[in-house]
Structure 1
Amino acid sequence: MASIDNEGSGYWYGPDGQLDYSAAVLKSLRDYRAAETALRRSTRDSMGMGETDILALRYLLRVQASGSRTAPKDLSRFLGITSASTTSLIDRLVESGHVRREPHPTDRRSVVVVPTAESDSEVRLTLGGMHRRMMAVAEGLSAEDARVVVDFLRRMAEALEGERRNPLEESTSPD
């Protein structure tokens, strides 16, 4: 098994002096999240956009790549924001040249929100290197290691989802 780098911190060792692998895994997860957060902040700053704007643009590009179209209500649902907030968001993205409104192809009363070719290029330029480096790391995993990582992250996501739904579950259950 590969060694786990703890930067000499005794915090990650148990009372018997042995490395606490569970704590080291969680620390590594926090380190990854901190690096990802810092990168996203840098990306937002370089693109002059807020977090919700970036999330919306990435969603619109993903939907477009799948051959589908996005109505404002779909964007509201994805982002979990009100229709008024969605309208303001779309207005900002239109003004900055990242998206445009087009007539809905089958509903004359509606519009779709379409990312511009320039925004696709900007996102690819800004995030492409990061995505390539991350893919190279993932591609370096064996099939078994990939299975373990995917299973672990899925179970972690389920644990967090359970906490979001039942935040007091453990503290109110009898011992």
Structure 2
Amino acid sequence: MAVAIRELLQANDDATRGLARRLGVGVTDAVALDHLLGSMAGLGPTELGHRLGIRSASATTLVDRLQSAGHAQRVPHPSDRRRQTVIATETAHAEVIGALAPLFEGIEQAVDRLDPVQAAATVAFLREVAAVMRAYAADEA
């Protein structure tokens, strides 16, 4: 079982590289877009850098690159006028969804081959594995 999960994690890394290639950006930029798209309120450049494990100056350069490509924009922080928040643009949303469509379609086809009991067990298992992975990551901090 652990080998299959490891294979899934490696496939996820491959899919991230595939997404980056389809978007014409680097892998770090694709991962940054994933974080921005997953955050409804956006992220500060420093927080984005922390999530990516890069320094503040590198995060600023990354945000500049995403902004130049039309994937992100800086907006005023909602509660602190001295800070900025980085959000994904509508263009980024559309491009990422379009680029991920074949992946989502393939996953849906795999899900359609499961009966309802198998699907429920799979969802519960994947959520439990995700919780274990988050706990592992938190202990590393």
TM-score range (shorter-chain normalised) is 0.7 to 0.9
Query: Which residue does 2:89 correspond to in 1?
Result: 116
CA distance in 2, matches of 1:87, 1:38: 26
Runs (4+) of structure 1 exceeding 6 A deviation are none
Deviations, residues 111-164 of structure 1 (Å, cap 9, x unaligned): 1101111111000000122123224434625446643674478459848949x9
CA distance in 2, matches of 1:158, 1:93: 32
CA distance in 2, matches of 1:70, 1:121: 19
Look up the SS of the partner of 2:80 in the other structure.
coil
Q: Counterpart of 1:101 in structure 2: which amino acid?
A: R
Q: Counterpart of 1:46 in structure 2: which amino acid?
A: R
> Is the contact made by 1:72 and 1:113 (CA closer than 8 Å) also made in structure 2?
yes
CA distance in 2, matches of 1:89, 1:48: 14
Aligned counterpart for 1:69 among listed residues 22, 38, 42? 42
How does the TM-score come out when normalised to structure 1?
A: 0.62
Q: Which entry has the higher C-alpha Rg, 1 or 2?
A: 1
Q: Which has the higher contact order (CA 8 A, sep 6+)?
A: 2
Q: Per-residue deviation at 1:73? A: 2.4
Q: Which runs of 5+ in 1 are unaligned?
A: 1-24, 166-175
Indicate whether 1:38 and 2:14 are aligned.
Answer: yes
Q: Which runs of 5+ in 2 are unaligned?
A: none
Q: Counterpart of 2:105 in structure 1: which amino acid?
A: R
> Is the contact made by 2:70 and 2:89 (CA closer than 8 Å) also made in structure 1?
yes
Greater percentage in helix: 2
Amino-acid identity (%): 30
Query: Which residue does 1:58 correspond to in 2?
Result: 34
What is the total number of aligned residue pairs between the two structures?
137
Q: Per-residue deviation at 1:107? A: 1.2
RMSD: 3.0
How does the TM-score come out when normalised to structure 2?
A: 0.74
